[in-house]
Amino acid sequence: MRRRTFLGLLAAGAGLTRIAPAADTALLVAEMTLEEKLGQLAMLSADYAVTGPTVAGDVSGELRAGRVGSLFNLWGREAIRAAQRIAVEETRLGIPLFFALDILHGFRTIFPIPLAEAAAFDPALWEETARAAAVEAIAAGVDLTFAPMLDVARDPRWGRIAEGPGEDPCVADRFATAKVRGYQGSGLAATPKHFAAYGASAAGRDYAAVDISERALAEIYLPPFRAAIDAGALALMPAFTDLAGVPLTANRALLTDTLRTDWGFDGVVISDYNAIAELTRHGVAADTAEAAALALRAGVDIDMMSRAYRDGLPVALDRGLVTLAEIDTAVARVLALKARLGLFADPFRRAGPVEPAPPPRALARAAAARGLTLLTNRGDTLPIETPPARLALIGPLADAPADMLGPWAGAGRPDEAVALLPALRDVWPDARIDHVPAVPIAGGEPARIEAGLAAAVAAATRADHVLLCLGEAASMSGEAASRAHLSLPGQQQALADAVLATGKPVVLLLFSGRPLILPDLFDRAAATVACWFPGSEAGPGIADLLTGRVAPSARLPVTWPRAEGQIPIAYAARPGGRPENRNDHYTSKYIDLPNSPQFAFGHGLSTTSFTMTDPAAEGTGPITARTTVANAGRRAGTATVFLFLHDPVSIISRPTLELRRFTQVTLAPGERREVAFTLARDDFAALDAALRPAVEPGAFDLHLGFSADPAALRTIRVTVA
């Protein structure tokens, strides 16, 4: 049959849900040479962005030889068209490529980093920004994103905490579903990553070994990926790390038995960057052939960048380490993905001329504000409702548009990002703004630093409002950016000390991809906002919060530690036999610090105050818990209500709090509203000794609160039949 016929056979509908009939892919696979098959399993970077330790350089020769099945780090319809034309018109079978990119929080219009978006506790927002990002990406020819990143993280030393939904599996589940729906509902294939438990890497060091219990894996790290697969994710990426000595890239138990057999995943597994070749460094493969065989037999279909499949699988075949049938299975999955993406129907469906939609700047501005977490606000410092006559805008992150985009900024452009300085000039046109960067984010010459500190002090002394913009550079966050000290980099603490010493009220704006350890600053600043990295509309979003145009509604998706010594730290902890009691020596505590965090999971202030009254529950499974939330202040605001669960007596010791529901409620001053959550019987299930879900009838405590702070929870004892 002529090649056109094969491609016609595989032509599937435009939607992402239909898959080409297996018989058709099998026909095409049967027609392919070994080299062409291995070509479909090879993914190379086109280096529009460099996201790993090696670069591919000019890949057109390999494209022409049919030795590449997909490209990533390439975008723009012209470039995509040129590459696709080679694959479709200059190779023997003309099998189209698919094109991929890391689109984690926006394609060209950049939204807040995922950790900041998680702080919005709003699945509708999570889905909306994914949808907007997908629309922009598809207009630039991209078919698949390596997102959402779903690694639950409880260790802010780990730079990649910035890329995910925070510490809680319930939040991560909802985040997973929202993101997969948002991406794939708009035609962009999603690739949940990094499967699994990458966030538990030893000592917070990226790529380090992971040793967690089977229970922790099942209760904390796997559920978000299950949610993503149940939402129909078409691809998945294993983690670089090992799990109890078995690298995920070679982990058949998880990549085949759990993912495909138990969960029914029928998509494509794409290795992480060079990860297959790195199995030799893990020490589980003696050479490339063994590495390739391990990965293929574990269930990895596509080899990103390592060329281990191209070079190693022919040798592995000769050695009998793999069979041709195993290779054909992987090839058929890749072809099925391409059919689902509609690429056989029209390889140039995303490479032709298109009228790009207007960039979603308004959404980016609104999302930026939704991630800004008001940590402290002494004496109602914020909002600043009267425009200042003279404002000191101090610090290296006051006018740093590139850093506002954060890590993994896709095709985001710093020259299209709006930092705080221009935004304040816009909202306070009559204010005299003294902008003093004062010190660099890190490093700097002593003499220049002295001069910068002096200029900052002078500006603060003259001003009637002081905004201090401190924190991390985007490069200090994300992949390969673990930090052992979580204090302010460089001389920024000295800058903060100098400015605070003026006695002026200081609003501290923190930019970072993780909680930072600044114990004294929270007490000394008049107000503190965790801005994270807010994206292309960072400045306007922050200005909206500072002026009160938008009320702060974000809540911490991660526990904020007082000191690195408390890490790993999370609210969901089992009590142990000697829970902390400061009055009892022999209990679980530090002798030099309270166990409590700087700020609890779910912490975040509004510029009004809320009360929670009349907690009650009815039913024995399902059970409905309800409470009344009231706005007791003078400004409108949004409260986030959390419902935690605890089984006080169970066959397995349970964490004292486990999040089961959350919701946001926006109230005018004086308004009150009932908030009700219904828990199905299954919501009371926990994994038994054999790690099977089971409901133990009996007493349970439901805890309602505005955060995980134990002191502020309202508890209802219920009985599950």
Tell me which residues touch ligand GLC (CB under 6 A): 51-52, 102, 146, 193, 272-273, 479
- Please say which residue, 107 or 146, places its beta carbon nearer to ligand GLC: 146
Q: Between residues 146 and 221, which has the closer beta carbon with respect to ligand GLC?
A: 146
For ligand GLC, give the closer residue by CB, 235 or 313. Answer: 235
Q: How far apart are CA 42 and CA 599, in angstroms?
A: 46
* 272 counts as catalytic: yes
**What whole-number distance in Å separates Cα of residue 457 and Cα of residue 448?**
14
Q: Name the residue with the smallest CB distance to ligand GLC.
A: 51
As given in the structure block, the two tokens for residue 132 are 């907007």
In angstroms, give the least distance from the CB of 303 to ligand GLC: 13
DSSP string computed for 201-215: -GGG-TT--B---HH
Angle at 42 between CA 39 and CA 44, to 5 degrees: 125
Residues in Cβ contact with 149 at an 8 Å cutoff, skipping those fewer than 6 apart: 104, 114, 160, 163, 164, 192, 193, 194
Minimum distance, C-beta of residue 151 to ligand GLC, in the bound complex (Å):
10
> Where on the phi/psi map is residue 183: left (φ > 0), alpha (ψ -120 to 50), or beta?
alpha
The nearest distance, CB 60 to ligand GLC, in angstroms, is 20
Nearer to ligand GLC, 141 or 388 (CB): 141
Distance, CA of 99 to CA of 107 (rounded, Å) = 14
Give me the least distance between CB of 113 and ligand GLC, in Å please. Answer: 14
Structure tokens at 603: 């912490």
- Of 272 and 311, the one with the shorter C-beta distance to ligand GLC is 272
The nearest distance, CB 86 to ligand GLC, in angstroms, is 22
Which residue has 């985040």 as its token pair? 175
Q: How far is the CB of 479 from ligand GLC (least distance, A)?
A: 5
Provide, rounded to whole angstroms, the least separation between the CB of residue 44 and ligand GLC: 11
In the complex with ligand GLC, the residue whose CB is nearer, 160 or 174, is: 160
Q: In this complex, which beta carbon is closest to ligand GLC, that of residue 36 or of residue 272? A: 272
Residue closer to ligand GLC by CB (options 273, 428) is 273
Task: Give yes or no for a contact between 531 and 120, defined as CB atoms under 8 angstroms apart.
Answer: no
Q: How far is the CB of 102 from ligand GLC (least distance, A)?
A: 5
Q: Which residues contact 114 (CB under 8 A, 6 or more apart)?
A: 104, 105, 148, 149, 162, 163, 164, 165, 175
Cis previous bond, 446, omega within 30: no
**3 state DSSP class of 352:** coil
Q: Which residues contact 720 (CB under 8 A, 6 or more apart)?
A: 620, 621, 623, 681, 684, 695, 696, 697, 698, 700
**Active-site residue (options: 173, 242, 272, 544):** 272
Give the nearest distance from C-beta 291 to ligand GLC in angstroms.
Answer: 17
Q: Which is nearer to ligand GLC, 47 or 326 (CB)?
A: 47
- The set of residues, in sequence order, having a beta carbon less than 8 Å from that of 394 and lying 6+ positions away, is 435, 436, 437, 438, 456, 459, 460, 466, 467, 468, 469, 495, 499
Nearer Cβ to ligand GLC (136/479): 479
Among 640, 636, 641, which residue's Cα sits nearest to residue 626?
641
Length of the chain: 721
163-164-167 Cα angle (round to 5): 135
3-state secondary structure 546-615: HHCCCCCCCCCCCCECCCHHHCCCCCCCCCCCCCCCCCCCCCCCCCCCCCCCCECCCCCCCCCCEEEEEE
Residue 661, token pair as written in the block: 């529901």
Dump strand ranges (E) for 137-207: 144-145, 189-190, 193-195
User: Could you say which DSSP state residue 476 is in?
Assistant: G
CB of 114 to ligand GLC, least distance (A): 12
Helix (H, G, I), strand (E, B) or coil at 700: strand
Q: How far is the CB of 213 from ligand GLC (least distance, A)?
A: 25
Q: Widest CA span of the chain, in angstroms?
A: 82
Query: Left, alpha or beta for 200 (phi > 0: left; psi -120 to 50: alpha)?
Result: alpha
Closer residue to ligand GLC in complex, CB, 102/290 = 102
Distance CA 330, CA 327 (A): 5
Question: What count of Cα atoms within 13 Å lies in the side-chain half-sphere of residue 209?
Answer: 7
Residues forming the active site: 272
